[in-house]
Amino acid sequence: MSLGLYVHRDSPVHAVPAGAKMLGLLVAGTGLLLFPSLPVVSSALGATLGLYALARLRPREVVPVLRLSAFVLVPLFVLHALLSGWVPALEAVLRLAVLLLLATLVSLTTRASDMLDALERALRPLARFGLNPARLGLLLSLTLRFIPLLATWLREIQEAQRVRGLDRDPFAVLVPLLVKTLRTADTLADAIDARCFDPEDPS
């Protein structure tokens, strides 16, 4: 199953472990928030573009992913320019652009499954809230299994309500969806238990 934004390539950037990349992103993000001056931000931009080149990603693969961010950057630049002048506007927009570029780079060069593994490890401390870390993997898989199914149900319910002219009424769509989901949850829990699942098992 191909999931997420990953673009396969043999590159040093791809080879860095997912956890390290995410940690690096966190550090870079914090650094840019603390030191947002124009020289820092522009050298960061240069470095980021260098990483894109190192990752051997083609513009064709990158541009569509970044298009959504551009929608934010342009009005923000205009707003800042009007409020406080060119330099602060450039600083603000470049900093955000670097952050978005870096985050996108991590997404483009890391398999969703590797990212999930790394996030799973990062969430280990959640055991305190009663979530057995080994269960997180099962939860993620269950969610992935049910997103397409729920999307199908949502479509079916909207179609059924369209006949009655209720498809724009969120309540008329939502309640049947929830009822169906909760019913499914009851049977699904039975089905999981019936297959010898032990929710208390630490492994």
Partner 1 sequence: MKTRDLVHVALFAAIVAVLGLMPPLVLPFIPVPITAQTLGVMLAGSMLGARKAGLSVLLFHVLVAAGLPLLAGGNGGLAVYPGPTGGFFVGFVPAAFVIGWLTERAWTRLSVPLAFAINVLGGIGVLYAVGIPWLAVSAKLPLAKAALGSLIFVPGDCVKAAIAASAAVTLKRAWPLIQAPRAGVPASPSSSSARAASAGPSSPPR
Partner 2 sequence: MIQLHAVSHHFGERPVLEGLELTLTERRIAVVGGNGSGKSTFARLLNGLLVPERGQVLVEGLDTRKDARAIRRKVGFVFQNPDNQIVLPTVEEDIAFGLKNLKLPLADISARVTAILRRYGLEDFRHHPAHLLSGGQKQLLALSSVLVMEPRYVVFDEPTTLLDLRNKRRLAQAIHDMPQTAIVVSHDLDLLRDFDRVLVFDEGRVILDDVPSVALDAYVRRMA
Separation CA 47–CA 101 (nearest Å): 11
- Structure tokens that stand for 135 in this block: 């269960």
State which of residues 45, 81, 112, 166 lies at the interface with partner 1 (CB under 8 A): 112
- Of 150-169, binders to partner 2 (CB under 8 A) are 152
Separation CA 102–CA 50 (nearest Å): 11
State which of residues 144, 174, 178, 179 lies at the interface with partner 2 (CB under 8 A): 144
State which of residues 145, 155, 162, 168 lies at the interface with partner 2 (CB under 8 A): 145
Longest Cα–Cα distance in the chain: 66
| Residue 149 in the binding site for partner 2 (CB under 8 A) | yes
| Residue 14 in the binding site for partner 1 (CB under 8 A) | no
H helices within the chain, ranges in order?
Answer: 12-15, 18-34, 38-54, 59-84, 86-109, 112-122, 133-163, 170-194
Shortest distance in whole angstroms from residue 142 CB to partner 2? 6
Contacting residues toward partner 2, per CB under 8 A: 1, 141-142, 144-145, 148-149, 152, 184, 187-188, 190-198, 203
